[in-house]
Amino acid sequence: MEKQLIALLTVTLLTSAAYYMNGKDESLTLEGQFKTWKQQFGKTYNGYEEVHRFSIFAQNLAIVMEHNSKFELGQETFTLGMNQFADLTEEEFSAIYLTLKGKVKERKNVKKYSGLSYPDTVDWKQGLTVKNQGNCGSCWAFSAAAAIEAGFTHKKKEKVNISEQEFVDCTTEKLGYESAGCNGGWMNDAFDYTVNYGVATEEEYPYKAVDQACKTGLKKKYYIDSFVDVESSNFDALHEAIANTSVSVAIKASGIWFQLYSSGIFSRTCTAKVVDDLDHGVLAVGYAKDSYTIKNSWGASWGENGYMRLALIAAKEGQCGIQIVPSYPVF
């Protein structure tokens, strides 16, 4: 708390100094920056909420400024930014967006590393669209839909916009699944649902970011043949899988550095040893010699236009647990 107060005081002093040095330009004050940020992201508050969010914004700005100054000195490998989550505490952010849950069922169709060589770099981003899950804990649905869309794009050369809302509404306990819509779920549930029931397009079944009754009578469904679980905690197995296709992965995404990530290679410690440590579903769309590239579902204003580079580390679980439970659809 003491460090936060000192950082907050530092930001206040710096912005006040800039205000007077530049002819009292209001945009340089803390209040001015908050006003501009609210306009940028369409934020409005009432009464006490305005004061509360301003306080959190100021504290987060202090963290961003301190961190980025270290980046400029070569002491950090990534930058932070005042994105759409800059008015949230870590606890609030986690409660809304980091809701991956559900027991991992027995992994039957496991793809082990073949022992063959794979390319040094892979990039599947071309042709993909970054989406935004909004205030709904549906990362699992977006990860699965993104994997299916990527498969259609790169394997079948067909552009398909898969309905995340159908997964949210229909991949439920009623059909024997453990996913719970906006309260969290698991990618393999969405894959299994697509094998058995097919999934509609977002145009026919649009995303609402709320739990609804499962719609029936949809005109056209897209299917996958099956899905594969990549060998757990195996660097080469995941690399080989990504060399073949985009892969759904679960990671540990808690912490202010993940929340406000802007650019660069994310190398902060985010240790995840077991499945229960994982709290967010994303799509691995490539790798380089120093990092994995993941496609997120928090819109293009987060990270590198909606993407993040996760550092390659020696731990068998991988950075933030990315190598623990990867899976992908088969066409």
Q: Which residues contact 106 (CB under 8 A, 6 or more apart)?
A: none
Tokens of 183: 């309260």
- Is 239 one of the catalytic residues? no
Residue of 67, 154, 239, 280 marked catalytic: 280
DSSP characters over 130-189: --B--SSB-HHHHHHHHHHHHHHHHTS-----B-HHHHHHHSSGGGT----TTB---HHH
Residue of 139, 170, 270, 320 marked catalytic: 139
Residue 11 CB burial class (10 angstroms; 0-12, 13-18, ≥19): buried
How far apart are the C-alpha atoms of 270 and 277, rounded to whole Å? 10
Residue of 60, 83, 234, 296 marked catalytic: 296
- Is 135 one of the catalytic residues? no
The answer for 23, left when phi > 0, alpha when psi is -120 to 50, beta otherwise, is left
- Is 280 one of the catalytic residues? yes
Q: HSE on the CB side for 256, CA within 13 Å? A: 19
Could you list the active site residues? Answer: 139, 280, 296
